[in-house]
Amino acid sequence: MTDVAVIGAGPAGVLAALRAADLGARTTLVTRDEFGGMAANDGPVPVRTLAHAARLMRDARQLGRYGIVVGEPRLEYSRLLERVREVVNDVRAHSSLRRQIETLGVEVRERAGHARFADAHTIETDSGLRLAAETFIICTGGVSRRLPVPGFELTNTHSDAWSLTSVPPSMLVVGAGATGVQVASIFNAFGSRVQLFQAGPRILPGEDEDVSAAVTAAFRSANVVVHEDFGAIESFERTPAGVRMNFAKNGQHNSAEATLAVVAVGWVAATEALNLAAAGVETDDRGFVKVDAYMRTTAHHVFAAGDVTGRMMLVPQAIQDGFVAATNAVRGPTMPADDAVSPVGSFTDPEYAQVGLTEAKARETHDVLTAVLPFDATTRTIIDGRTTGFCKLVVDRKTFRMLGCHAVGERAVEIAQVAAITIAANMRVDELARIPLSFPTYAGTLTRLAASAARKLNLEVGWQANQSEGV
């Protein structure tokens, strides 16, 4: 019998196995397919590589503006997929985690197929492995949500991008959360005619309303057809050229056709194969594994971490939760999971990002001041010819501290990282304004906004009060 069995080798599982072994537990890591999980093989790493290719396409279109004469860029999708594979392999080959795991003596059982509980202390896998353990950590991640509508099997997910042989001439993207907008933005840059469907009133519903509006406007001006509040899907059916989606709103029937329909309407826990009942592990009403503050499930010898728990569903959080779950699995419930400041963003065109509270959320509980800088008024964005977007600070009038930062446009994700540090450091806006960040930079937008907020709050900010990035 091993001490700790970790199921799933994504970021949560790898960190959990590392931590458990580091604390001296005999640890086995069992995973269905490749080491690295969705993050390394199907999510951020390969999708970011496609997004980088989309960025290169749009950068190439700018070359003429800067006096560089080349032809119109043309994408060879099969060569791009080769590059994606190269990147995925390179990232995997350079993973220090793999080496650490081996050094610590974790037994890694890759490509074991699905694991399932045979009883409370035993798992079995499709490959025939049977493993008994004192403690388990479930890190099986999630899968794209399926819709119970006729013809759903004709639809695709983002994962199908890896098996396409060419860029589809047209695409329906259903669902405009983080994954849907990425797919729409990337394939629009590659030349697909994209229609984006959102059931709710606005795309990116978790973002600040100004962010949703700016991304919608930018998508529309890039010829993505954005349908908000489009109604309910009735069915999908095959057409000679691809697929048709039938939908209805207020009794009115409508349809849209394209070569492909990609559905990204949510992420659900990958628990179906696990036979959780045999271990006494319960799920919540959304289907995610229920955990307490110690990442302990309803069966106290079973812990869970990462997407399978439905918390933030991002790599850094999966890593943190894996560490916490393993610590508590080995030492007993001693380390609660904390809700650290967590920036969120995506590499669309334009990028968008946030950290902290949206303006609407902040107004529910605080007396709020906002400062906004449009990207057509900052030196660096003008230099780079990237003047679409804005950055907004949401500031508490009482404490003078930043409650949230929201950005759309070039390097928005990087701006949010710097904002996250200032929030985590509990800095006042006048303190942030006094830091002479480099000129001309995207991060410099933050000090300019902080100075503007500080002025409105009658705070002393010294020489920075009147500077507008040095020009």
Ligand X SMILES: Cc1cc2nc3c(=O)[nH]c(=O)nc-3n(C[C@H](O)[C@H](O)[C@H](O)COP(=O)(O)OP(=O)(O)OC[C@H]3O[C@@H](n4cnc5c(N)ncnc54)[C@H](O)[C@@H]3O)c2cc1C
Distance CA 115, CA 127 (A): 9
Distance CA 190, CA 50 (A): 10
Kindly state the smallest distance separating residue 18's Cβ from ligand X, in Å.
13
Kindly state the smallest distance separating residue 199's Cβ from ligand X, in Å.
19
Site size toward ligand X (CB under 6 A) is: 36
Strands 252-258 and 170-174, by their bridges, are: unpaired
Residue selected from 80, 121, 137, 141 as contacting ligand X according to rule CB under 6 A: 141
Binding to ligand X (CB under 6 A) within 248-287 occurs at 270, 273-274
Question: Among 143, 136, 139, 141, which residue's Cα sits nearest to residue 280?
Answer: 136
- Specify which residues 428 forms β-bridges with: 401
Helix (H) or strand (E) segment spanning residue 252: strand 252-258
Rg (CA), the chain: 24
- Contact flag: residue 315 with ligand X (CB under 6 A): yes
Kindly state the smallest distance separating residue 157's Cβ from ligand X, in Å.
8
Which region, judged by CB under 6 A, interacts with ligand X, from 37-45, 277-285, 373-381, 396-404? Answer: 37-45
Residue selected from 17, 81, 84, 139 as contacting ligand X according to rule CB under 6 A: 139
Kindly state the smallest distance separating residue 77's Cβ from ligand X, in Å.
18
- Contact flag: residue 306 with ligand X (CB under 6 A): yes
Kindly state the smallest distance separating residue 130's Cβ from ligand X, in Å.
14
Which region, judged by CB under 6 A, interacts with ligand X, from 29-37, 64-72, 84-92, 460-468? Answer: 29-37
Which region, judged by CB under 6 A, interacts with ligand X, from 27-35, 80-88, 246-254, 442-450? Answer: 27-35
Residue selected from 4, 5, 6, 12 as contacting ligand X according to rule CB under 6 A: 12
Specify the 3-state DSSP secondary structure of 466. Answer: helix
Q: Which is nearer to ligand X, 188 or 452 (CB)?
A: 188
Q: Which is nearer to ligand X, 309 or 447 (CB)?
A: 309
In contact, 207 and 178? CB cutoff 8 Å? no
Distance CA 457, CA 460 (A): 9
**Binding-site string for ligand X from residue 79 to residue 118, where x marks contact by CB under 6 A and - marks none:** -----------------------------------xx---
In the numeric block, which tokens belong to residue 313? Answer: 């569903």
Q: Which is nearer to ligand X, 46 or 389 (CB)?
A: 46
In contact, 109 and 29? CB cutoff 8 Å? yes
Specify the 3-state DSSP secondary structure of 378. Answer: coil
Q: How many CA atoms lie within 13 A of 224 on its CB side?
A: 32
- Specify which residues 396 forms β-bridges with: 368
Distance CA 154, CA 149 (A): 11
Q: Which is nearer to ligand X, 13 or 444 (CB)?
A: 13
- Contact flag: residue 44 with ligand X (CB under 6 A): yes
Binding to ligand X (CB under 6 A) within 166-225 occurs at 179
Which region, judged by CB under 6 A, interacts with ligand X, from 69-77, 285-293, 308-316, 350-358? Answer: 308-316
Residue selected from 4, 17, 38, 106 as contacting ligand X according to rule CB under 6 A: 38
- Contact flag: residue 49 with ligand X (CB under 6 A): no
- Contact flag: residue 411 with ligand X (CB under 6 A): no
Specify the 3-state DSSP secondary structure of 394. Answer: strand
In contact, 354 and 345? CB cutoff 8 Å? yes
Mention every residue, 6+ apart, whose C-beta is less than 8 A from residue 300.
none
Mention every residue, 6+ apart, whose C-beta is less than 8 A from residue 288.
268, 269, 308, 309, 310
Which region, judged by CB under 6 A, interacts with ligand X, from 169-177, 301-309, 390-398, 434-442? Answer: 301-309
Residue written as token pair 């590392």: 18
User: Which ranges of 138-233 does DSSP label H, i.e. alpha helix?
Assistant: 178-189, 209-221
- Contact flag: residue 39 with ligand X (CB under 6 A): yes
Strands 107-109 and 27-30, by their bridges, are: parallel
Q: What angle do CA 209, 210, 216 make, to 5 degrees?
A: 90
- Contact flag: residue 295 with ligand X (CB under 6 A): no
Q: Which is nearer to ligand X, 27 or 452 (CB)?
A: 27
- Specify which residues 130 forms β-bridges with: 124
What letter does residue 239 receive in the DSSP assignment? E
Which region, judged by CB under 6 A, interacts with ligand X, from 253-261, 300-308, 395-403, 437-445? Answer: 300-308
Residue selected from 2, 27, 29, 32 as contacting ligand X according to rule CB under 6 A: 32
Residue selected from 56, 57, 217, 313 as contacting ligand X according to rule CB under 6 A: 313
Kindly state the smallest distance separating residue 34's Cβ from ligand X, in Å.
7
- Contact flag: residue 158 with ligand X (CB under 6 A): yes
Q: Which is nearer to ligand X, 45 or 214 (CB)?
A: 45
Question: Among 143, 109, 124, which residue's Cα sits nearest to residue 279?
Answer: 124
Which residues in this chain contact ligand X in the complex, by CB under 6 A?
7-13, 30-33, 37-39, 43-44, 47-48, 114-115, 139-141, 158, 179, 270, 273-274, 306-308, 313-316, 318
